């Protein structure tokens, strides 16, 4: 074997072992009060068979239809937050994005790796009842290794509204859970707790988020978020600033 052939062989061998090291199973878990419960472990072979043309894998099919089949109906209904962990980084996704088909996975057959993606131009009809059209990169995770299904109050117990006597506060809670947590809870992103929401913050919201197409708050939304924030502060016996 000549020098060139040896170099080529070593390169091919290195590439082969690199691809083998990248290929791994993806674990789907369900978060409970006692900790995570493994629902299903997807091997590269299983994911390869699930992938459709172009490597597309429906998040609804992968997570809700296939992985969560062993859960009781109530537990499945309680899932409203999806956390995706990759080799580098993580993302938290509100379940409504999975329901509406905006969030999906991509399977790379060459490297046997799974990545999370968001449609670059989701249909407006998919979001007519939601405020959230956000920067795609927030939800993109390469080389997915673990996916956790959970009720958001287990991950963020401080966001739970115990007493729901005010309809506006209940609206604000839902709005915050679906539209704020996903971005503002990520490592490295500016955090935002519901109790810290003020009228001043909301007045500048649309200007700060103008680059995110469709992400705007109207007066009713703002009233709901303020009511939610004040209700939480009252439950926690905290004094809120009006500024």
Residue 139's pLDDT is 83
Contacts of 102 (CB under 8 A, 6+ apart): 118, 119, 122, 126, 127
Backbone angles phi, psi at 92, to 5 degrees: -115, 130
Mean pLDDT of 113-141: 65
Confidence of residue 140 (pLDDT cuts 50, 70, 90): confident
CATH C-level class of 156-243: mainly alpha
Instruction: Report domain extents, the chain.
Output: 1-152, 156-243
How much is the mean pLDDT over the chain? 81
Is the pLDDT at 5 greater than 90? The verdict is no
Is the pLDDT at 189 greater than 70? The verdict is no
Instruction: Express each pLDDT in 42-99 by its tens digit.
Output: 999 999 999 998 899 999 999 999 999 999 999 999 998 999 999 888 888 888 788 8
Q: Is 160 exposed, middle or buried (0-12, 13-18, 19+ CB in 10 A)?
A: middle
Contact (CB, 8 A) for 63 and 82: yes
E strand or H helix at 228, and its extent? helix 219-235
Strand order through the sheet with 26-32 = 35-42, 26-32, 144-150, 81-86, 90-94
Contact (CB, 8 A) for 114 and 57: yes
Cα 64 from chain centroid (whole Å): 14
Mean pLDDT of 144-148: 96
More confident site: 27 or 165: 27
Residue 99's pLDDT is 81
- Predicted TM-score (pTM) of the model is 0.76
Query: Over pLDDT 70: what percentage of the chain?
Result: 77
């Amino acid at each position: 074997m000549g020098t060139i052939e040896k170099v080529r062989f070593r390169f091919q061998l290195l590439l082969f072992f690199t691809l083998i090291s990248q290929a791994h199973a993806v674990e789907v878990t369900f978060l409970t009060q006692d900790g995570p419960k493994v629902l299903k472990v997807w091997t590269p072979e299983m994911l390869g068979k699930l992938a459709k043309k172009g490597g597309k894998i429906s998040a609804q099919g992968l997570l809700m239809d296939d992985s969560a089949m062993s859960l009781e109906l109530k537990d499945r209904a309680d899932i409203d937050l999806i956390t995706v962990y990759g080799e580098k980084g993580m993302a938290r996704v509100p379940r409504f994005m999975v329901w509406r088909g905006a969030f999906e996975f991509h399977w790379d057959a060459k490297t046997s790796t799974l990545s999370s993606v968001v449609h670059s131009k989701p249909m407006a009809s998919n979001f007519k009842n939601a405020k959230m059209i956000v920067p795609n990169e927030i939800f993109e995770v390469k080389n997915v290794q673990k996916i956790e299904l959970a009720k958001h109050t287990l991950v963020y117990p401080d966001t739970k509204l115990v007493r729901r006597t005010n309809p506006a506060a209940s609206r604000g809670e839902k709005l915050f859970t679906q539209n704020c947590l996903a971005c503002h809870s990520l490592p490295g992103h500016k955090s935002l707790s519901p109790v810290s929401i003020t009228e001043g913050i909301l007045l500048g919201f649309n200007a700060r988020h103008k680059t995110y197409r469709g992400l705007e708050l109207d007066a009713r939304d703002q009233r709901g978020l303020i009511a939610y924030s004040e209700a939480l502060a009252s439950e926690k016996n905290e004094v809120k600033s009006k500024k």
